[in-house]
Amino acid sequence: MTKKEKFLSPEEITVCQQIATKSDLHGKRAKVLLAINDGTTHANAGNEAGLSNGQVRYLLKTFRLKRSSMFPPDSVDKKAAKTNKSLTEKTTKQPEGETKMAKKSKSKKKKKDKDKTKKKKDKQKSKKSKKKKKKKKAKKKKKEKKSAKNKKSK
């Protein structure tokens, strides 16, 4: 396994370690973040903490956007609350890597939305073209019936 860069700052590690001592959802989330920071796979970290793969994906997405401010202030000890508060202020300006990731996820979402609207428009066009074809067939049948009646009457 290649050596990956740690994504938690030392302050965030301290906050996560304090929250991880709890058995609630925030404690589980903090355990997952610490495990991933230590190099554990997302799936293994989630399994160890009792979270599904979807919950781990949601946790990482939320953490990338909010950093440690995703944890409520009351889930951190009073000593660490000051650290958590200062982290919240620090993380309003995210490091360049996270900013790029956030931009990528936004651009992917926009692309998906464009694709969805394009598919809807294509469906609407195909429905309209089907209706036109049905109308043409109905007109053709009427003409054929009229021409058949005219031939019989002659």
**Among candidate residues 25, 75, 73, the one with its CA nearest the CA of residue 49:** 25
Tokens representing 16 are: 């996560």
8-state DSSP, 76: S
- How far apart are alpha carbons 80 and 21 in whole angstroms? 13
- How far apart are alpha carbons 101 and 105 in whole angstroms? 6
Please enumerate in sequence order all residues whose Cβ is within 8 A of that of 32, keeping only pairs 6 or more positions apart, or say none: 45, 46, 48, 49, 51, 56, 59
Three-state secondary structure call for residue 78: helix
Only one residue has tokens 């019936």, namely 145
* Helix, strand, coil fractions of the chain, as percent rounded to 5: 80, 0, 20
Q: Tens of pLDDT along the chain (154 residues)? A: 345 667 788 888 888 888 888 888 888 888 898 898 888 898 998 888 888 999 899 988 888 888 878 788 777 765 554 554 555 445 444 455 555 556 666 677 777 787 888 888 888 888 878 888 888 888 888 888 888 877 777 6
pTM of the model: 0.48
Tokens representing 144 are: 């054929």
